[in-house]
Structure 1
Amino acid sequence: MSTKDKILFGMLIFVPIAIVSEWLKLSPILVFVFSALGIVPLAAFIAEATEEIAEVIGATLGGLLNATFGNLTEMVVSIVALRAGLVEVVQASILGAIIANLLLGLGLAMVLGGLRFGTQNFEPEVARLNGSSLLLAILVMLTPSAIHYTSVGLPLLPIQEFSYVASILLLICYGLSIIYSLKPSQDVKKIKEIEPENHQEGSDHAEEKKSPLGKPIIILLVCTLALVVVSEILVGSLEETVKVLGLTELFTGIILLPLFGGVVEYLTCVSAARKNQMDLSVAVAIGSTLQVVLFVTPVLILVSLFFPSTLTLEFNVFGIFSVVAAILITNSISSDGQSNWLEGAFLLILYAILGVAFYLHP
């Protein structure tokens, strides 16, 4: 068992601690911290179980599974918060996940990887395609604000209707991106089909060694149920914690919640960069961001139809500005297919500046 797994298994203790703390009605801050720490290992084990299942069921279904469960933590927490009427927190957490993935996760990876290897390389074509997808998504997110500020006295209904239509189109866009991403694996499969017979026998033998689905499915179900329970506790303590600490919902959603929900992804980015696998770091950071924008956000908007408080694509203006800034600097740094520790430092400094700005924002 690796050191990372030992730490994650040890952190599972925070799940029952959070439940007991809620039952004993301890301080909301303690309940919030314990439940947030309990979410970290659950998110990690859900991600690992999803990857194991995807390896067994094949690339096509595996891609769909990753699309569904890749950001399950954010989705569960956000749905629980939506049901509690915390729309502003959910909107802020969506923006915060994007900013943290691009600036904190990728920034740490570039700094620690660059300090060890100097200049690191990754596939520029993939980075450019991801950059285009991010720009498309942010333009869609900017449109409701543009509609609102260019239409005096506009009622809420048109913004809601636009959000529903745009959500469906974003889901279609994400589906197309999954199909495109599966094309290389299909090409590889075609090449294998024309290889000598002994290679086919080797691949058949490798397929026989695939692990059974029982264990990862059980882990996925158990961790998902635990995640729902802990998320309920987290959201229940959120409002009181914000009041006690004197924080705004904007700062809590954009800075605090993504730190717990995305810590596994940040560790993966750093670990890959330290092994000089910068392609993987970029794929995790930007791929996760695209999932949030193109999949998680549209799903949450459509799910909110069943709750009293509906979610729309009209976000906080300063939050949107921060997302645009994060996307622009990430695209600028990653477009050449190279990174170093100084470029990573740029990302981290911008994240710190935005963090201070959100803390001081009324």
Structure 2
Amino acid sequence: MNRIFLIMLIIGIPLSVIGGMLHFPTILMFVIYCLTIIALASFMGRATESLTLVVGPRIGGLLNATFGNAVELIISIFSLKAGLIGVVLASLTGSVIGNLLLVGGLSFFIGGLKFKVQKFNVFDARHNSGLLMFAVIVAFVIPEMFSRNLTEAKTMTLSAGIAIILILLYIAALLFKLVTHRGVYHTKESEENIETEEPEWSKGKAILILALATLVVAYISEKLVHTFETVGEQMGWTELFIGVIIVAIVGNAAEHASAVLMAFKDKMDVAVEIAVGSTLQVAMFVAPILVLISLFYSQSMPLVFTIPEIVAMVTAVLLNIVISNDGESNWFEGATLVAAYLIMGLGFYLL
């Protein structure tokens, strides 16, 4: 599989440059850009996996989520610049439901096919549940409800205020998990698994690959954004569907691959940290940062989602909490999460 991604990369990067210069058909370039970003994401996933073996599951999961979300953040910034506010909000929705239902579901399902029952840190699961409830249900629902009785300027002020609060709480959450309460909620199994495996790449090489891949992703993402409008018209896709499904899947490809791989190796602490940690980072850091960045563009982005987007995110959060709060998973629970994602995907496609 790694060889296939390497071939995709060797072919995809030159084609991305040449195709843009020679004005290849937009649909063709859209496919090339997406496949190249997915190939780059696989290398980012392998690099973060190597770092995980060095620094441990919590920091490793955080690194994976951060660099996985870096792809989406870059795509979203260029989308904001192009005035595609709907695509950005939809991609944030897609990240939340994609990470909780698709990434989490595939991790539980693939891991569950190999192991009958897989266990992960129940204390982390419960801690993350509270943050998910706050970040998605409180911070995303309130702007939508209050905006109905507020002017556009006041709605933007409310969004900016909520964005700052979310970022501060996210930093506090990192301090709680990695500093003040590090090792308090502890599982020996995950450390034993980490210690017995050698990293594929050294720490320095992994960091270098992550940095280079992120730079190339930034270049290709800018090109990708300019294809959205034409592709939407030709394929009959709405901005909502492009954002929720296409951008979210392409932007989170690194997490998808890494989380499933970790689950297959029975490293569920890392897999869950990637899926849920990435969701929290999107809701509490990426979305607020995009709101604040949009203040510098001609068109600001309030933190106001459509009703279908909010319903989808709240449902994904509640379903994930119910299934994962016991600290155990199996293939059927994974299938349930994936089924929920497919139902939502079908709804957004038809909307």
Aligned to 1:156: 152
Match of 2:323 among 330, 333, 345: 333
Residue 263 (structure 1) shift: 1.9
Q: Hey, what's the Cα distance between the residues in 2 that align with 1:67 and 1:285?
A: 8
Q: Aligned in 2, Cα 1:217/1:107: closer, same or farther, shift over 3 Å?
A: closer
Match of 1:315 among 294, 301, 305: 305
Match of 1:108 among 106, 124, 127: 106
Q: Hey, what's the Cα distance between the residues in 2 that align with 1:96 and 1:115?
A: 26
Residue 64 (structure 1) shift: 8.9
Q: Aligned in 2, Cα 1:182/1:147: closer, same or farther, shift over 3 Å?
A: same
Contact 2:100 2:317 in 1 (8 A): yes
1:82 maps to amino acid: L
Q: List runs of 5+ in structure 2 lacking aligned partners.
A: 185-200
Residue 300 (structure 1) shift: 0.9
TM-score computed with the length of structure 2 as normaliser: 0.87
Match of 1:16 among 14, 17, 22: 14
1:175 maps to amino acid: I
Which of these two proteins has the greater Rg computed from alpha carbons?
A: 1
1:310 maps to amino acid: S
Residue 177 (structure 1) shift: 1.0
Aligned to 1:202: none
Residue 330 (structure 1) shift: 0.2
Q: Say whether residues 1:257 and 2:254 are aligned partners.
A: no
Q: Hey, what's the Cα distance between the residues in 2 that align with 1:61 and 1:344?
A: 24
Aligned to 1:25: 23
Match of 1:7 among 4, 11, 23: 4
Q: Hey, what's the Cα distance between the residues in 1 that align with 2:85 and 2:104?
A: 28
Q: Hey, what's the Cα distance between the residues in 2 that align with 1:52 and 1:184?
A: 26
Contact 2:118 2:266 in 1 (8 A): yes
In percent, how many aligned pairs have the same letter? 40
TM-score computed with the length of structure 1 as normaliser: 0.84
Q: Say whether residues 1:146 and 2:136 are aligned partners.
A: no
Aligned to 1:95: 93
Contact 2:260 2:271 in 1 (8 A): yes
Contact 2:68 2:255 in 1 (8 A): no
Aligned to 1:196: none
Contact 1:112 1:270 in 2 (8 A): yes
Match of 2:350 among 324, 337, 360: 360
2:139 maps to amino acid: V
2:79 maps to amino acid: A
Aligned residues between the structures = 333
Query: Within 5 A, what are the aligned runs for 1:184-263?
Result: 211=202, 213=204, 215-216=205-206, 218-263=208-253
Aligned to 2:189: none
Aligned to 2:280: 290
Deviation track 1:130-180 (CA, whole Å, cap 9, x = no partner) reads 11101100111111111023x2xx311111001111111111111011111
Q: Say whether residues 1:181 and 2:180 are aligned partners.
A: no
Q: Aligned in 2, Cα 1:186/1:337: closer, same or farther, shift over 3 Å?
A: closer
Residue 103 (structure 1) shift: 0.6
Aligned to 2:128: 130
Q: Aligned in 2, Cα 1:175/1:41: closer, same or farther, shift over 3 Å?
A: same
Q: Hey, what's the Cα distance between the residues in 2 that align with 1:20 and 1:317?
A: 41
Contact 1:170 1:295 in 2 (8 A): yes
Q: Aligned in 2, Cα 1:310/1:54: closer, same or farther, shift over 3 Å?
A: farther
Q: Hey, what's the Cα distance between the residues in 1 that align with 2:334 and 2:256?
A: 13
Q: Aligned in 2, Cα 1:285/1:187: closer, same or farther, shift over 3 Å?
A: closer
Q: List runs of 5+ in structure 1 lacking aligned partners.
A: 189-209
Q: Aligned in 2, Cα 1:69/1:280: closer, same or farther, shift over 3 Å?
A: closer
Contact 2:101 2:341 in 1 (8 A): yes
